[in-house]
Amino acid sequence: MVQSNSAGPSTPAFAVFTRTLCEGLVPAWYDDHDKPVTYVTQREAQCEIAEMLVEQLRQFLDGEREFDDAMSVDDFVLPVDLLADGTILTEDGEKFGRRIP
């Protein structure tokens, strides 16, 4: 995990990330307050990705999505430190906070 920082104490957590062409590594999912979604365990985060994939496959079976699109999973889980303000820090020191809509 990332070491404590000047923003205060942190809690170990996990977050789902993706890589984009323009922004590079970014959190894949944000909550209703535009903060990165975090999970207590790695398995919990992995289950969220699996549930998304199951839904995509359901959409393919219903004719709502192409097969290649349904099988595409670019998201992955990384350990993070969760700060009190909802900001997360990766092991590489990358910091992600509130998303600007």
pLDDT digits (tens, 9 = 90+) for 22-80: 999 999 999 999 999 999 999 999 999 999 999 999 999 999 999 999 988 899 999 99
Q: How far apart are CA 49 and CA 55, in angstroms?
A: 10
Compare 64 and 4 and report the one with higher pLDDT. 64
* Count: domains in the chain: 1
Structural domain boundaries, residue 17: 11-90
Q: Is residue 25 part of a domain?
A: yes
Q: Is residue 49 part of a domain?
A: yes
- Mean pLDDT for 93-100 is 91
Q: Is residue 99 part of a domain?
A: no
Q: Is residue 96 part of a domain?
A: no
Compare 9 and 88 and report the one with higher pLDDT. 88
Q: Is residue 45 part of a domain?
A: yes
Is-above-0.75 flag for pTM?
yes
CB 1 within 8 A of CB 92: no
